[in-house]
Structure 1
Amino acid sequence: MLNAIVLAGSGDGDKLPDKPLLKIKDKPMILYVTDALKASGIIDRIVVVGNAAGLSPLFEGDDCCTVLDGGGNMLDNLLLGVRYLGDQDRVLVLTSDIPMITPEAIIDFVEKAKAIGGDFCYPIVKKEVNKEKFPKARRTYARLREGTFTGGNIIYMNPRIIDNLMDMAYEVIENRKRPIKLVRMLGWSFTMKFLLGRLTIPKVEERVSKMLGIDARAVISEYPEIGNDVDKPSDVEMAENYIKSA
């Protein structure tokens, strides 16, 4: 059994205020995430970090979920969640704006991450897989030798590496929608290989692991629900239409 942290803050730049509480088909968006975690059968405790005043009423009487009042940004909230849970083997971290996430997607990602090992496992989804299920979704893609991928909104991590992540994490979050800037963080030769489509997943894993002093791994997921977040009004419409038809 794993513990999970759900990052439920709303950034200053969000086009949708109070995103975790935004209703999709008359249900607050964050509840789709916490319900999927519970239904997966592999989660013990869930820690929700965000605006406690707004979020706590959703989880009254829920012994599985604890709500913590969040900090100023996503990383502050992650730190709060990790410190609350304490030093343990592994923890699952998700954002609260992926209402199309399913128990099957969570189970598949965790099983693959456990099989791979590593301190930090991050899901990537092939463009054609994402386009097949969500043809109207606007995603940021990166072209690697193995294919063109988009990232997910879930992480399987060793909480003991949190301090290693901090310096680089702020820059990664700042440039998460700009693949070329992310690659530049890895060095000039990596940038050139990326531009030529010759950069491979193992090389990225190796470089990131060396830079951070951790074992970082990519997990290829066949579940695009894991990364299609709700950031703007058109995403709300897409999520509602998908959930209606599911």
Structure 2
Amino acid sequence: MTDTATGWSALILAGSRPGVVDPLAAYAGVPHKALIVLNGETLLARVAAAVRGAGATMIAVSADDPAVIAEANRLSLRVIPTASGPSGSVARGLEALGAPLLVTTADHALLQPAWIDRFIADLPPGTDVATLLARQDVIEAAAPGTRRTYLRFADGAWSGCNLFWLATPRAAAAIGLWAQVEADRKRPWRIVRRLGPGLLLRYLTGRLTLNDAVRHLGRRAGVEAAVVATPYGLAAVDVDKPADLDLVRTLLP
């Protein structure tokens, strides 16, 4: 387990694409989806409360939208300007905040401190960087009918939970790799292709586990990378589109 006795920071990604109108924000009638209100709180406020409840000693928001920056200031959160893309923003956040660093997104509407606590507790020893994922059966048991994008490997079909742990400064070496994996998340064969013909064959024949793939990818970047499986299926439910927002509204008390 990573030693968190000295505290850890959190970075909430709340960037936006220049010149692009987010259909979800338009659907909700707000200038940015981080400002969608659920049960009297903006999504940004809900996420910040969850990471604070899990023990974050410093919380920063990667944002460029003036309204999101104003909300971050209202919540007494540090603002870090966005970079050209998510990976660049994470790199900037790691440089500013240091490790250990939890990275999540402002649209993680249902995020709970217990999910983060379990993620940190389950980190394999010696991990530099880790990502949280949930199996398809766990997700569908928690949210029947939800539609997610899945990575299919020998140990099941998995969906990301928008939670990443940068445990050591060496994690900086994995940020570029993380960006490539995120870009190819709907095309896992492209991810595995980077591992070479041996592991590609294992993937094509259904014998490669997701954890083995991520571990080998990490070692190619010079870090120890790991996948942590969560027992909380709702951890994979973020708010990317109107249907997600409608689902989340039915799940809130």
TM over 0.5: same fold?
Answer: yes
Unaligned 5+ segments in structure 2 are 1-6, 26-31
CA-CA distance at 1:13 after TM superposition: 8.5
Indicate conservation of the 8 Å contact 1:98/1:225, yes or no: no
Q: Which residue of 1 aligns with 2:169?
A: 160
How many equivalent pairs are there?
239
Q: Which residue of 1 aligns with 2:183?
A: 174
Indicate conservation of the 8 Å contact 2:199/2:208, yes or no: yes
The whole-number CA distance in structure 1 between the counterparts of 2:75 and 2:132 is 29
Match of 1:191 among 195, 200, 203: 200
Q: Which residue of 2 aligns with 1:47?
A: 60
Give the alignment's Cα RMSD to 1 decimal. 2.2
Q: Which residue of 1 aligns with 2:71?
A: 58
CA-CA distance at 1:146 after TM superposition: 2.3
Match of 1:83 among 92, 95, 99: 95
Q: Which residue of 2 aligns with 1:214?
A: 223
The whole-number CA distance in structure 2 between the counterparts of 1:206 and 1:60 is 38
Partner SS state of residue 107, structure 1: helix
What pairs with 1:100-115 in structure 2 (closer than 5 Å)?
100-113=110-123, 115=124
Deviations 1:193-233 (A, max 9, x none): 22332102453244113211000011111112322211111
Identity of aligned residues (%): 25
Matched, 1:19 2:33: yes
Q: Which residue of 2 aligns with 1:6?
A: 12
Q: Which residue of 2 aligns with 1:29?
A: 43
Bigger CA drift: 18-27 or 2-11? 18-27
Indicate conservation of the 8 Å contact 1:4/1:92, yes or no: yes
Deviations 1:41-76 (A, max 9, x none): x2111011112521233244645x212232232122
After TM superposition, the score normalised by the length of structure 1 is 0.87
Indicate conservation of the 8 Å contact 1:5/1:91, yes or no: yes
Unaligned 5+ segments in structure 1 are none
Q: Which residue of 1 aligns with 2:3?
A: none
